[in-house]
Amino acid sequence: MTNSHEFNSATWIKSSYSGDNGGNCIEVAPGFPGVVRVRDSKDPLGPVVVIPAHGWSSFVAAVKSGGFPF
């Protein structure tokens, strides 16, 4: 089980595709075995999406293909 302290104390890494223009930016937090944690860099205290590591490639492919229209 993960608590919010683990999210807040995690080291978050901003996507290399995120420019300095304040656009659509995500961050990931490595170091959690078996999962990839993702958040919106503009809302660091907001929700965190936890994706099983084995599904990360599928998640990225779905995002790239427009599978998550916002």
Structural domains of the chain, count = 1
**Does residue 43 form part of some domain?**
yes
Q: pLDDT for 45-57, tens place per residue?
A: 899 999 999 999 9
Q: Which of 40, 32, 42, 43 is nearest to 3 (CA)?
A: 32
**Does residue 70 form part of some domain?**
no
pLDDT for 42 equals: 85
Amino acid identity, position 42: K
**Does residue 68 form part of some domain?**
no
**Does residue 31 form part of some domain?**
yes
What range defines the domain where residue 37 resides?
4-63
**Does residue 49 form part of some domain?**
yes
pLDDT for 19 equals: 66
**Does residue 69 form part of some domain?**
no
> In this structure, how many other beta carbons lie within 10 angstroms of the beta carbon of residue 31?
8
Distances (CA, A) of 43 to 24, 25, 61, 62: 11, 10, 23, 22
Q: pLDDT for 16-32, tens place per residue?
A: 776 666 566 889 998 89
